[in-house]
Structure 1
Amino acid sequence: MTLSRAGTAWRSPALFMPPPLRGWLTDPHSLTARIRARCRHFSVQPLRTGRAALAADEASLVGCGRARAVSREVLLRADGRPVVFAHSVVNPRDLHGVWHMFRGVGSRPLGALLFADARIARSPLAVRRLDWRHPLHRRVRAEGIAVSGPLWARRSLFMRHGRPLLVTEVFLPAISELAP
């Protein structure tokens, strides 16, 4: 399944990314583990979990209607600073089945669960530059995070028993304060 649908700006990682973010955007391993290795204290701040309206490409990727999905949004913090806004989406019919662990994950990092299960396969990463008009950029600003320009994001599908979970990670300005 492709993450770069016609009409969207999600692309395979390429050289057009800013060099300081290239490693963050292209590393296929656990983002949680990478951040933990570069700070003294890592935490997950849950923002919202529940039914959410999705962009058309998100709904298509998880196989449900735009108004039917369940999403989880969190801030990943390194030494108290928000460094990543994470937005995960799953089809609600999978919450009591293959993606049951999505319910009640709370302040635990979702990545720790995803990378610990050998039955979960990850798609290649897709990246995008988000300007102020993008819904995820607006959500970041709504959390009171100062953003003066575009933000970079990556996303991938995690597949378990043929069922998708879409994870999008938006890199916040403070990520540049961590070693690459």
Structure 2
Amino acid sequence: MSRQEFRWKPDPALAGAPTWLRPWLADPGSLTARIVARCDSFEVRVLGERRARPFPDERALIGLPPGRYAWTREVLLFADGLPVVFAHSALAPRDLNGAWHMAQAIGSRPLGAALFADPSICRGPLSAARLTARHPLHRRASAALGSPLPTLWARRSRFCRLDRPLLVTEVFLPDIARL
């Protein structure tokens, strides 16, 4: 994947997102709360939590030097039984015993709820990107669903607690259009 293939943009319109999806991409509030308000049942399905190499564009955002592993968490968010978001979070492993100690114990509870409940956590600006099948997050979302997906749009932002970053990326799946 070349650096020119995609870029994170500060505005969903610049990322080429369809008009109906832009409010989802640009909403500075909790995505979890927005989904819950539009469905009868909400579920978080944890796909994995592990040490892994961060994607190259993530490394600097979470303060890791080249060659170091990140702690990652991937989940699917379901609304009324339909998968609507694939979420990927990354942070420096040393922060699991410090600023982000709650990340290891969150289990199937939504990370977003914890992030927005703690007033000591600050959120940085949102950015959005168009993800083709060549993007690793697109491939991971397709693998999680067990089927190929069309072009997807994602948003991401950095959260800071005690001056330590956590990067959260939310990839919108086709069924988000039903909400």
TM-score computed with the length of structure 2 as normaliser: 0.92
CA contact (8 A) 1:55 1:66 kept: no
Partner in structure 1 of residue 9 of structure 2: 11
* Alignment pair present for 1:83 and 2:84: yes
Partner in structure 2 of residue 143 of structure 1: 144
The count of aligned residue pairs is 174
CA contact (8 A) 2:12 2:129 kept: no
User: SS in structure 2 opposite 1:57?
Assistant: helix
- CA-atom RMSD, angstroms? 1.7
CA contact (8 A) 1:85 1:140 kept: yes
Read off the aligned partner of 1:103 and give its amino acid letter: Q
Partner in structure 2 of residue 41 of structure 1: 41
Q: CA shift at 1:52, angstroms?
A: 1.1
Q: In structure 2, how many angstroms separate the alpha carbons of the residues matched to 1:144 and 1:116?
A: 30
Unaligned runs of 5+ in 2: none
Read off the aligned partner of 1:135 and give its amino acid letter: P
Q: CA shift at 1:146, angstroms?
A: 3.9
Q: In structure 1, how many angstroms separate the alpha carbons of the residues matched to 2:122 and 2:5?
A: 26
CA contact (8 A) 2:6 2:129 kept: no
Q: Cα gap change, 1:10/1:109 in structure 2, threshold over 3 Å: closer, same or farther?
A: same
Could you tell me the percent identity over the aligned residues?
56
Q: Cα gap change, 1:96/1:7 in structure 2, threshold over 3 Å: closer, same or farther?
A: farther
Partner in structure 1 of residue 176 of structure 2: 175
Partner in structure 1 of residue 128 of structure 2: 127
Q: CA shift at 1:84, angstroms?
A: 0.1
CA contact (8 A) 1:129 1:150 kept: yes
TM-score computed with the length of structure 1 as normaliser: 0.92
Read off the aligned partner of 2:46 and give its amino acid letter: P
Unaligned runs of 5+ in 1: none
* Alignment pair present for 1:63 and 2:63: yes
User: SS in structure 2 opposite 1:95?
Assistant: helix
Q: CA shift at 1:144, angstroms?
A: 2.7
Partner in structure 1 of residue 32 of structure 2: 32
Read off the aligned partner of 1:41 and give its amino acid letter: S
Q: CA shift at 1:66, angstroms?
A: 4.7
* Alignment pair present for 1:154 and 2:155: yes
CA contact (8 A) 1:87 1:168 kept: yes
